[in-house]
Amino acid sequence: MPAALVLLASVAVFALGYRYYSRYLADRVYALEPGFVTPAHTYKDGVDFVPTNRHIVFSHHFISVAGAAPIVGPAVAVFWGWGPALAWVLLGTVFAAGVHDYGSLVLSVRHKARSIGTLTGEVIGKRARTLFLVIIFFLLTMVNAVFAVVISNLFVAYPESVLSILVAIPLAIGVGQVVYRKRTAALLPSLVALILVYVCIPLGVRVPIQLDGIAEAIGTSPNTLWVLLLFVYAFLASRLPVWMLLQPRDYINLHQMLLALVVIFLGVLIGWDKVVAPAINTDVPSDSPSWFPLLFITVACGAISGFHSLVASGTTAKQIDKPSDTRMVGYLGAAGEGTLAVCSILACTAGVVAASASPLADWNLIYSDFGTASAGATGNFVEGVGQFAANLGIPLQVGVIFAVVVVVSFAATTMDTGVRLQRYIVQEIAEIVRFRPLARNLTLATLVATVVPLGLALIPGDFAFGTLWQLFGTTNQLTAGLALAVIAVWVTKRRRNPLAILIPLVFLLFMTSWALIVNLIEFLRSDSAIDLFLMAPLDFVIFGLAIWLVVEAGIALRKAWIQRDLPGGGEETLDEAAEPTETSETKEK
């Protein structure tokens, strides 16, 4: 099967989904009002609430959600065959991710840009809010830990990429100053910054940056030292106003993403590489995990991801200029991530062995078992993209480093966005338990949001890509299902048909509950102390919270369905008035 045909067909599916299905959602399900004043205008503070051009907001949202996960997940899942992975990415993106991302953003924009956790309390009930916030806390902890390990591993394996990543930070700050202070368009400054980042790639090849000597001097490993430095960076980056680093870097990364997609697209078309992996892999070791239900957990981001609802309601909703912008930002952002997931599938089934004399035999070697597939997922992607770039005449080593820079840029953006969101969640939980020092102290809340995932990231071995990734994927999909439950109740209360939301909702809750049980059994059978005393209790707690929250959501949905048929029922029940609320920054002041 030529990879080009798979790519073109996938893009056509996403385009049709955006053209027709997102329009149906906008007109018949979410029912946007053009004259609604968004929270970015109502609560404008120049820090979190900033009315922003939809293209810049799209870049922030897209890059924040399109981190390493839509690359790693599909790169692992092709172990079971590229057919099931591709089918889930296409169907999941069009009928689940787009509904979820778009709906989360609309719901938050309509209600003061509140987080999905806070809205859970108002739509379903106060107990549900607390339960959901705790689940979100676990999810963000795992997101930040996994992405830190992804970046550190790439830095150690490809030190030639470090220079470009380091240079991108001050360049992004410079772009932010130019755009915000001079009120100029972001396009030209961000393109200049991106060119400078890529100029540093050949320089990085000549002068790779390694921390081996420093790590040895202080008695640790290079991976551990990089993880520590990454969390120091995330702590500082999450404290800055969004216009200073987050927005300009995301806009730079959007152009980087578009360039990467162009390189992959042209490389696939010109090289006409063939997908050598089996559509359904029937020759897997007997001790391999079953693809059903774990495929739908392994491919989380790239099909549907609960993390997206946190970004949509955590930072993106505070920047939306007009209600109509939510369709492009929410649904098209999901389609963009789905496209990245398809590229990951092709890079790992066609590109990674394109130059091999025995491509199928070599593919079977690098995907010999599930552990090998998991550990080598990111490396397989960057090597595959490097081969696609080589089809265009770009030196293979430069193409590989280019792919690493792309992956790290996205992962770092998601990581410090995740820390910022974690800080919001920590403060919300602290408010609920009335621990005001933590709720009102921005520095202390950010420190908690940094230290907890740091502890997980420092666990040695293949913990991040083995045990933690599976639980991350399960919790991520569970969060998506719970967010859909909140959206379904809200839509029902507004006398709209919730069927488009209920179908992916039921599917996700069934699959994630099943996967949580499968993981719990594996943890309890494990000889590892970490699995037995850390992961098994964590899995059990998350499962218990999920069941409790599903029951709460079911009761609320039934009540909303009954009330919608009563006289006067079905009207908007949440407070949408433009009453300013304190942000975390104004609380500290």
- pLDDT tens, residue by residue, 439-461: 888 899 999 999 999 998 888 76
Of the given ranges (8-17, 247-256, 382-391, 398-407), which has the lowest mean pLDDT?
Answer: 247-256
The neighbour count for residue 376, using CB atoms within 10 Å, is: 18
Question: Would you place residue 426 in the very low, low, confident or very high pLDDT band (cuts 50, 70, 90)?
Answer: very high
pLDDT score recorded for residue 402: 94
Output the pLDDT for position 519: 85
Give the model's confidence band at 392: pLDDT under 50 very low, under 70 low, under 90 confident, else very high. Answer: very high
Q: Taking the alpha carbons of 388, 392, 397, 401 in that order, is the dihedral positive or negative?
A: negative
Confidence bin at 410 (pLDDT 50/70/90): confident
* 488 has pLDDT over 90: yes
Average pLDDT (520-540) is 87
Confidence of residue 559 (pLDDT cuts 50, 70, 90): confident
Rounded Cα distance, 64 and 73, in Å: 16
b/e string for 556-579 if b means 16 or more Cβ within 10 A?
Answer: bbeebbebeeeeeebeeeeeeeee
Over range 269-273, report the average pLDDT.
94
State the average pLDDT over residues 570-581.
46
Stretch among 37-51, 57-71, 159-173, 225-239 having the lowest mean pLDDT: 57-71
Q: Would you say residue 333 has pLDDT above 50?
A: yes
Say whether pLDDT at 328 is over 70. Answer: yes
| Residue 573 clears pLDDT 60, i.e. is over it | no
When pLDDT is averaged across residues 504-518 and rounded to a whole number, the result is 90
Q: For the chain, give the longest Cα–Cα distance.
A: 74
Quote the pLDDT of residue 26: 94
With contact defined as beta carbons under 8 Å apart, do 430 and 438 qualify? Answer: yes
Mean pLDDT of the chain: 88
Q: Could you tell me the CA-to-CA distances from 534 to 73, 283, 374, 462, 520 in Å, in that order? A: 23, 33, 21, 15, 11
DSSP 376-413: THHHHHHHHHHHHHHTTT--HHHHHHHHHHHHHHHHHH
Given this model, what pLDDT does residue 582 score? 42
Fold of the domain spanning 3-588: Amino acid/polyamine transporter I (1.20.1740)
As a whole number, mean pLDDT of residues 188-200 equals 92
- Give the model's pLDDT for residue 509: 87
Indicate the pLDDT class of residue 185, thresholds 50, 70 and 90. confident
pLDDT of 466 strictly over 70: no
Is pLDDT above 90 for 57?
no
- What residues does each domain of the chain span? 3-588
Say yes or no to pLDDT of 174 above 60. Answer: yes
Give the C-alpha distances (Å, rounded to integers) separating 91 from 10, 113, 417, 445, 459.
Answer: 10, 29, 27, 38, 35
- Of 326, 290, 344, 306, nearest in space to 92 by CA: 306
Classify burial at 391, counting beta carbons within 10 Å of its beta carbon; exposed 0-12, middle 13-18, buried 19 or more: buried
Triad 427, 65, 173: Cα angle to 5° = 75
pLDDT, one tens digit per residue, over 88-143 is 999 999 999 999 999 999 999 999 998 888 888 888 888 888 888 888 888 889 88
- Give the percent of the chain with pLDDT over 90: 50
Whether the per-residue pLDDT at 571 is higher than 60: the answer is no
For residue 460, the model assigns a pLDDT of: 75
Res. 160 pLDDT band, cuts 50 70 90: very high
Question: Above 90 in pLDDT, residue 2?
Answer: yes
SS3 state at 274: strand
Q: Which of 358-362, 473-477, 492-496 has the lowest mean pLDDT?
A: 473-477
* Of 327 and 578, more confident: 327
Q: How many residues comprise the chain?
A: 589
pLDDT for the residue 588: 39
What per-residue confidence (pLDDT) applies to 576?
52
pLDDT more than 70, % of the chain: 94
Per-residue pLDDT for 584 more than 60?
no
